[in-house]
Amino acid sequence: MHTTVAIVGGGPAGLLLSRLLHRAGVDSVVLERRDRAYVEGRQRAGVLEQSTVDALREAGAAERLDRQGLAHDGVELRWAGRSHRVDFPSLTGGRRVWVYAQTEVVKDLIALQTAAGAAPYFDAEVRAIEHIDTDRPTVRYLHQGQEKVLTCGYVVGCDGHHGVARTALPRGVRRTHERVHPYSWFGVMADVPPSCDELVYAHSPRGFALLSMRSPEVSRLYFQVPNGTDPADWSDERIWDELDARSALDGRTLTRGPITSRSVLPLRSSVTEPMRHGRLFLAGDAAHIVPPTGAKGLNLAVSDVVVLARALTHRQRTGDTALLDAYSDTCLRRVWRTEHFSSFMTTTLHTGPGQSEFDTRLQISQLDRIAASPHAAAELALNYVGLPLP
């Protein structure tokens, strides 16, 4: 089998890239090692930047998003018994974010591509990516019990940090910069209406907490825990008590309900560069990981594939490779800016192990400044709603 673009990984990045290319008349094949049910049920991000929503609309993949997504015009910060709402439209020239689960984005894209006759290949485990320094790379994969080979003009790795694509970059070329954070997030889904209309980011002596939602009926909640925490050690009552202790304001408590899922997510930051070598390109988590505090993982992946789809389309229509040649540098400028913002949100709101009172007072001072200074609030708002696409 031959295609113009072989896409390794059928998460939102790979699926959106395939969709954008399809609409531009560039053929592609998506190879995803998991089955469709797993991919459509994989819980991840839920906050979409303005530019991500714009990209989904351009791809013709925002019909359900526009009907069911929850538009948010701000977030609330809580610390030291105080609160402050950061109003996005007034600080960013009218920009906002949407809450719409990654699972729904994935379902929408799979349905559209399937209807268009370009469905992903599920249960297709990529074993090797070869000949990336030639004009005819190959992707070897296992599908339906058979070893198969896909030849192509370009390979795009959207298969995550531990996938085959990232390690296919030659060792002498690949450089990975990493930071492992000394805490994790305990995340729960609960069948209860959200207690707040917008996301709440809470700093407390007990650690960080985030109050979010997936729909008007389902809450998504997180709180900071030590690395290595076992979710089974926490009862529902203990979870709700901890969330209340970290986020309560003026005696108000959260509305409680049945917790339907729980998991622990270690926090880390990572950037692999360059994001391109030969005919192999990296996008999304294959190239970079950000801690979830800034809600940037999915959005940064979308930025990558929008830039890449534009470059691949330009190459097919004109024969010019300038945009493809600039892909890595173009994306990395936004990647490092986003890593900086995610790190700022993480270190400002979390309480590190053995943290001194001096460090805590610095965090409180920073939060006080955001509440008092329109310039500081605007800096947060502009980064949160998303930097302009390159």
Residue range 195-237, pLDDT digits in tens: 999 999 999 999 999 999 988 999 999 999 999 999 999 999 9
All residue ranges of the chain with pLDDT < 70 are none
Indicate the domain borders of the chain: 2-50+101-179+269-350
Entry pTM: 0.94
Which residue type is seen at 215?
S
Residue 203: the pLDDT is 97
Provide the pairing of β-strand 218-225 with 200-203: unpaired
pLDDT, tens digit (0-9, with 9 covering 90-100), for 101-133: 999 999 999 999 999 999 999 999 999 999 999
pLDDT, tens digit (0-9, with 9 covering 90-100), for 13-45: 999 999 999 999 999 999 999 999 999 988 777
Integer angstrom CA distances of residue 286 from 216, 273, 275: 33, 10, 9
Q: Would you state the structure tokens that stand for residue 35, as one six-digit string?
A: 């089955």
Task: Tell me the CATH architecture of domain 2-50+101-179+269-350.
Answer: 3-Layer(bba) Sandwich (3.50)
Distance from the Cα of residue 101 to its chain's centroid? 11
Provide the pairing of β-strand 74-79 with 200-203: parallel
| 145 Cβ contact list (under 8 Å, min separation 6) | none
User: Which positions are catalytic?
Assistant: 72, 201, 292, 296, 384
Residue 248: the pLDDT is 82
Residue 306: the pLDDT is 98
Q: Tell me the backbone φ, ψ of residue 101, rounded to 5 degrees.
A: -65, 145
Residue 242: the pLDDT is 96
Burial (0-12, 13-18, 19+ Cβ within 10 Å), 124: buried
Q: Tell me the backbone φ, ψ of residue 160, rounded to 5 degrees.
A: 85, 175
